[in-house]
Structure 1
Amino acid sequence: MNHQIESLYLGELRTEATHLASQSKIITDAPTDNNGKGEAFSPTDLVCAALGSCMMTIMGIVAERDKINLQGVTWKTTKIMASNPRRIAEIQVHFYFPSNLHLESTYKQKLENAARTCPVALSLATEIKQEVFFHYI
């Protein structure tokens, strides 16, 4: 299935991308350490956010199929950049599952496996280290 995104350069290192099917828009800015204003997600921030969101989406698909509600799960994503060339070196994602979910250990493993095999995780270059942590609080 193909999806189209139409984009526009707004100047001053800012872009606007429109998801054509929904007309939803995303603005990006270059980060302040790379000559930008840093007033919005940078393109590399979006890559990292996409990894966490994709992992959660795939876990959600698995859970919904099994009639389990994962509402309330949160996550924090950390981007670690490298230089020469400037690139994403590592992405760390920490998922926090509320204690009221009462997940069995075998089901936790099922969710963790699903997350690690999401389309974004499988699409990123193998040189980008992906550190994923699951916290059951």
Structure 2
Amino acid sequence: MITIETKYLGDLRTENVHLQSGAKIITDAPCDNRGKGQSFSPTDLLATALGNCIMTIMGIKAMDNGIDIVGTRLEITKIMASDPRRVAEVVIEFFFPKDKTYTDQEKRMVESVAGTSPVPLSLHPELRQTIKFNW
């Protein structure tokens, strides 16, 4: 079953439709690679997918254990390499809500699943995944 339908719009831009929900994502090549940089680039989406997949699996672990991490935010930094042009590293920094108190056990439980979700496990081992937690 098809998951996503993509149409090339020209000028290094694509429109992607998630068929189950109808949600759309536009991609644009980055300015440093002949694009306009007016939307997420494909490599931005890779970095975003990594951070969001980790957040989702942490959310599942938290939900299953009665830990409230609603309001947690991420800062995602994508670091490119050249020759060949590729994503060399993604740095994901988690900022948990300061108005909530977490035990050391809760912190360890949530952090323990960070690298176990599908996207981190699907990426090439040479892509460095740096994860930082701020509680």
Q: Are positions 1:8 and 2:1 aligned together?
A: no
SS at match of 1:130: strand
Counterpart AA for 1:121 = P
Give the distance between the partners of 1:3 and 1:129, measured in 2 at CA.
Answer: 30
Matched, 1:33 2:45: no
Q: What is the match of residue 135 of structure 1?
A: 134
Residue matched to 1:86: 85
Distance 2:31 2:73 in 1: 27
TM-score by length of 2: 0.96
Distance in 1, matches of 2:48 and 2:37, equals 16
Matched to 1:62, the amino acid is: K
- Whichever residue aligns with residue 28 of structure 2, its letter is D
SS at match of 2:83: coil
Equivalent AA in structure 1 for residue 55 of structure 2: M
What residue ranges of structure 1 are gaps of 5+ in the alignment? none
Q: Aligned partners of 2:130 and 2:71: how far apart in 1?
A: 22
Whichever residue aligns with residue 31 of structure 1, its letter is P
Identity %: 51
> Is this contact kept in 1: 2:54–2:117, CA < 8 A?
yes
Per-residue CA distance 1:22-43 (angstroms, 9 max, x = gap): 0000000000000000000000
User: 2:67 touches 2:106 (CA, 8 Å); kept in 1?
Assistant: no
- Looking at structure 2, the residues matched to 105 and 77 of structure 1 have their Cα atoms a distance apart, in angstroms, of 25
Distance 1:40 1:128, change over 3 A: same
| Runs of 5+ consecutive residues of structure 2 not aligned to the other structure | none
> Tell me, what secondary structure is at the counterpart of 1:115?
coil
Shift of 1:100: 2.4
Could you tell me how far apart the structure 2 residues matched to 1:131 and 1:65 are?
25
- 1:3 CA drift (Å): 5.9
Alignment of 1:45-84 (within 5 A): 45-84=44-83
Alpha-carbon shift at residue 9 of structure 1 (Å)? 0.3
Which range is displaced more, 28-37 or 118-127?
118-127
Counterparts of 2:92 and 2:49 in 1: how far apart (Å)? 11
* Length, aligned pairs only: 135
